[in-house]
Amino acid sequence: MSSYSDSELKKMELKNKIKKAVSLHVTLKAKERQEKRVAQKLHLHMPDINERKLITAVSTNNTERLQEMLSGNHNPNSKDNHNRSALHIAVSRGYTECVCLLLQNGADVNSQDILGNTPLHLAACTSNLQIITHLLNAGADINSLDMHGRNPRQLAESKLHILRHSWKSRTIEMTNLREQLQQVVNMMISLWRRNASDKVNDLQMMKLSIDSVDNVDDQMARLLDELRDFSLK
């Protein structure tokens, strides 16, 4: 038979619950502090709730919600825990309207993620001409380097080397090659318009003529030469 009354047992039970709750709170706080230390060590970003909401709106291409949040003074430079800004995410997913909304509301066009990529690096990888044009018009720096020391022009050059190797090794069909080459040329046209406008017409003509199996390797070689010779003035 218990030596404690019902009221005493209830008090003891309540104390135990409080002790467990306090212990859990302390554990969670310690875990949170540890996560912050790890994030700081890895140069990660710990987004707050408002940043997460804006990132979610962009990630789901919810332009109506994004516009509402930006009008409500949410930070257009909100970042996720990999230091990717909302603009990085919109660019990488090809969400042109989100890109425009963010740029119109002051998003940093040259923000770098944890790998040193700017939004223009990501746009160059996807060869999205429309988004590249928006970024350049907003002042994107074509000379900005990622963690591997590459700028967007060099990414286009790397892609051309890969395509040329694939063509020579017969691991890519002409239809696919033509499509990807036209994407690279589109990106080059967008870059050239600012600093080498006299070459734009030549590039446009070349883009239209990418249809001959016999000439395509020479065309890729010429594009590589153009990229190597390209310099900003």
Residue 181 scores a pLDDT above 60 = yes
Residue 38 scores a pLDDT above 80 = no
Decide if domain 49-137 falls under CATH 1.10.10.10: no
Task: Express each pLDDT in 68-82 by its tens digit.
Answer: 999 998 999 999 988
Confidence of residue 63 (pLDDT cuts 50, 70, 90): very high
Task: Express each pLDDT in 75-131 by its tens digit.
Answer: 999 999 888 999 999 999 999 999 999 999 999 999 999 888 999 989 888 777 789
What is residue 6's three-state secondary structure?
Answer: helix
Domain boundaries, the chain: 49-137, 152-229
Give the pTM.
0.65
Q: Which residue has the higher pLDDT, 89 or 4?
A: 89
DSSP 56-74: HHHHTT-HHHHHHHHHTT-
Taking CA atoms, 28 is separated from 14, 34, 80, in Å, by 21, 10, 21
